[in-house]
Chain A
Amino acid sequence: AQSVSQHNHHVILSEAASLELGCNYSYGGTVNLFWYVQYPGQHLQLLLKYFSGDPLVKGIKGFEAEFIKSKFSFNLRKPSVQWSDTAEYFCAAVLQTGANNLFFGTGTRLTVIP
């Protein structure tokens, strides 16, 4: 079955630590990939997206992600996290076929300790 997996459920880091959140998808066809962030009490906001071209994409607030097709992965990274990055992070994929609906991972909660 088609799915998006996020294996880190809760990550706790100190400020200035580096971050990498894993995301794997199981589709064989063409996909678009997204990372969304949900700050406490707020709605989902787009961090970055990959449609085509350079597999290293840069998003807002210093985040970046790398699409590795051979590994079916789209991991999110940030060199130095801040307390304000405390949030829940969702990876999502949309297939080129069908109704183009988004499939979400289960999310990773990031807690940054000052």
Chain B
Amino acid sequence: NAGVTQTPKFRILKIGQSMTLQCTQDMNHNYMYWYRQDPGMGLKLIYYSVGAGITDKGEVPNGYNVSRSTTEDFPLRLELAAPSQTSVYFCASKEGGFSYEQYFGPGTRLTVT
């Protein structure tokens, strides 16, 4: 199993540009998550999904969109990138609800200038 994979690893965007961060898991997990990690702030939940076709907002959803058309993929879309979106983005997945651990991808480092 590759686990959770993310592309790209690094990206520099100009203000106002858009992009999609890709996330794929091969563990047949129902739950998938997007987090952003800012220095000294820990990880904040952006969006999550409990299954294909079902998504919901986390703590910091503004400026982002997601979709979940398949179990494996959970892309994160940034429209009109802003400097405040400079961060490291992590995707994660888990098998079920309360009693399961999350598995994290390697992250995407995004800089918006």
Contacts and interface: CB of A to CB of B under 8 A. Distances in A.
A44 B6 CA distance: 13
Interface of B: 31, 33, 35, 40-45, 48, 50, 56, 58, 90, 97-99, 101-102, 104-107
B43 A90 contact: yes
A95 B99 CA distance: 10
Contacts, number: 48
B98 A44 contact: no
Contact of A51 (B97, B99, B104): B99
Interface residues of A, number: 24
Contacts of B105: 43
A60 interface: no
A36 B103 CA distance: 10
A102 B102 contact: yes
B106 A100 contact: no
Given A43-B106, A51-B99, A101 B43 contact: no
Contacts of B33: 101-102
